[in-house]
């Protein structure tokens, strides 16, 4: 038992050191307002998509809070400054920045250190590709169905809160500290659990063949798949040690991640996205946004899963 504890502690220390550095740096960038300073980069996208000028501001605001950005859009719609079609495409556009934000705050800070460069990198690329596909869809539909003129007076200036580097660093440490402790604690617990169950031979004794045959996936992936659907972070922290000790290959780990995402995303959308979208945009438009956004995410993962299954076969 002590050897398992020591091994778990060593794995946690080595992996979480990278996680801590990445969380601190992204928190520092956010406190210094570096994310907001790239708002001018969104203006060509907005112009090309024929979206109203306010979309450039809300696109950047959604880096911090998609709900806040969508509230701005909903207010403009209620005041009669946006049509329903413009509102729909602006809301989809506002869901894109989170994929770029999570590339730094989640994938590079947590997923890649835990799963490794290959499996974690592919997982991050798939997630980022979902955002890029949504962006392309908005650009295509906007060019096709929206008028080419926008009102510059609709643009909203983003507030600036100047901080010194030392102040930003302290705020980053305070803001990211609690998140880091949760991640590190979960990683240690899951690493210890995997090593303990492997030592006892419990994982190897689980008969998951019926479920494996039903979904056509390797039986050794069912346990981490089930955990991932319940909690993606817990599933990832379980897969990390399994990849490291050779219990599962990186290709099979990616199968778990893609299939698990397909099951998890609809439940996440019902639990989190539906209340947010329907409360801001109303039941009909809100549900349409949830269905379209979730459908795109699931479809991307389905295509990647098919490729993985073909390659694995």
Position 270 scores a pLDDT of 81
- Do the beta carbons of residue 39 and residue 158 sit within 8 Å? yes
Region 256-275: mean pLDDT is: 84
Report yes or no on 144 lying in a domain. Answer: yes
Residue ranges in the chain assigned as alpha helix (H)? 2-31, 39-48, 54-64, 66-78, 84-94, 97-102, 112-115, 117-145, 165-200, 202-205, 209-215, 222-230, 232-244, 250-268, 274-281, 283-312
Q: Mean pLDDT, the chain, as a whole number?
A: 80
Report yes or no on 249 lying in a domain. Answer: yes
Region 230-244: mean pLDDT is: 85
Residues 140 and 218 in one domain: no
Of 154, 188, 217, the residue that ends a domain is 154
Vertex 45, ends 84 and 36: CA angle to 5°? 95
Q: Could you tell me the sign of the dihedral formed by the alpha carbons of 269, 270, 275, 277, in that order? A: positive
Confidence at 41, pLDDT banded by 50, 70, 90:
low
Q: Is the pLDDT of residue 157 over 50?
A: no
Most confident of 26-40, 209-223, 247-261: 247-261
155 vs 58, more confident:
58
Region 56-75: mean pLDDT is: 79
For residue 226, the enclosing domain spans 206-313
Q: What is the dihedral of CA 95, 281, 48, 293, to 10 degrees?
A: 40
Position 136 scores a pLDDT of 94
Residues 148 and 211 in one domain: no
Least confident of 11-25, 87-101, 289-303: 11-25
Residues 71 and 143 in one domain: yes
Position 153 scores a pLDDT of 44
> How far is 69 from 59, CA to CA, in rounded Å?
7
Q: Is the pLDDT of residue 15 over 80?
A: no
201 vs 52, more confident:
52
Of 154, 182, 198, the residue that ends a domain is 154
Among candidate residues 219, 222, 221, 231, the one with its CA nearest the CA of residue 190: 231
- Do the beta carbons of residue 218 and residue 255 sit within 8 Å? yes
- Do the beta carbons of residue 110 and residue 235 sit within 8 Å? no
Position 159 scores a pLDDT of 45
197 vs 214, more confident:
197
For every residue of 224-261, DSSP letters joined together read HHHHHHH-HHHHHHHHHHHHHTTSS-HHHHHHHHHHHH
Residues 214 and 147 in one domain: no
b or e along 113-149 (b: 16 or more beta carbons within 10 Å of the residue's beta carbon)?
bbbbeebbebbbebbeebbebbbebbbebbeeebeee
Position 57 scores a pLDDT of 75
Report yes or no on 21 lying in a domain. Answer: no
> How far is 69 from 77, CA to CA, in rounded Å?
13
Confidence at 296, pLDDT banded by 50, 70, 90:
very high
Q: Output Rg (C-alpha) for the chain, integer angstroms.
A: 22
Q: Is the pLDDT of residue 154 over 60?
A: no
Position 30 scores a pLDDT of 64
Residues 135 and 239 in one domain: no
Q: Is the pLDDT of residue 257 over 70?
A: yes
Residues 226 and 130 in one domain: no
Residues 213 and 149 in one domain: no
Q: Could you tell me the sign of the dihedral formed by the alpha carbons of 106, 110, 115, 119, in that order? A: positive
Report yes or no on 98 lying in a domain. Answer: yes
Q: Is the pLDDT of residue 259 over 90?
A: no
Number of structural domains (the chain) is 2
Among candidate residues 50, 47, 45, 95, the one with its CA nearest the CA of residue 70: 95
Report yes or no on 275 lying in a domain. Answer: yes
Q: Is the pLDDT of residue 308 over 70?
A: yes
List pLDDT tens digits, range 16-30: 787 677 667 766 766
Residues 48 and 147 in one domain: yes
Q: Is the pLDDT of residue 211 over 60?
A: no
Residues 119 and 232 in one domain: no
Report yes or no on 313 lying in a domain. Answer: yes
Q: Is the pLDDT of residue 156 over 50?
A: no
């Amino acid at each position: 038992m002590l050897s398992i504890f020591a091994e778990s502690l060593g794995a946690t220390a080595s992996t979480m050191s990278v996680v801590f550095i990445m969380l601190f740096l992204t928190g520092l960038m956010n406190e210094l307002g570096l994310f907001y300073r790239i708002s001018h980069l969104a203006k060509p996208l907005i112009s090309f998509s024929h979206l109203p000028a306010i979309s450039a501001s809300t696109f950047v605001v959604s880096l911090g809070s998609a709900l806040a950005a969508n509230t701005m859009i909903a207010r403009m719609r209620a005041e009669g400054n946006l049509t329903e079609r413009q509102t729909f495409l602006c809301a989809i556009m506002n869901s894109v920045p989170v994929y770029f934000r999570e590339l730094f705050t989640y994938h590079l800070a947590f997923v890649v250190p835990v799963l490794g460069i290959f499996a974690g990198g592919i997982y991050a690329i798939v997630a980022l590709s979902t955002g890029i596909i949504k962006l392309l869809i908005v650009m295509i539909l906007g060019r096709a169905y929206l008028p080419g003129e926008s009102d510059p007076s609709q643009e909203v200036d983003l507030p600036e809160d100047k901080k010194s580097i030392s102040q930003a660093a302290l705020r980053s440490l305070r803001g990211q500290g609690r998140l880091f402790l949760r991640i590190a604690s979960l990683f240690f617990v899951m690493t210890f659990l995997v090593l303990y169950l492997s030592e006892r031979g419990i994982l190897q004794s689980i008969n998951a063949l019926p479920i494996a045959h039903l979904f056509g996936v390797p039986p050794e992936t069912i346990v981490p798949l089930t955990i991932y659907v319940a909690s993606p972070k817990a599933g990832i922290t379980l897969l990390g040690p399994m990849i490291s000790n050779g219990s599962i290959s990186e290709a099979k780990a990616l199968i778990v991640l893609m299939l698990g995402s397909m099951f998890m995303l609809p439940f996440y959308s019902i639990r989190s996205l539906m209340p947010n979208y329907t409360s801001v945009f109303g039941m009909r438009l809100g549900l349409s946004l949830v269905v379209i956004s979730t459908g795109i995410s699931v479809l991307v993962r389905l295509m990647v899963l098919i490729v993985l299954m073909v390659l694995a076969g």
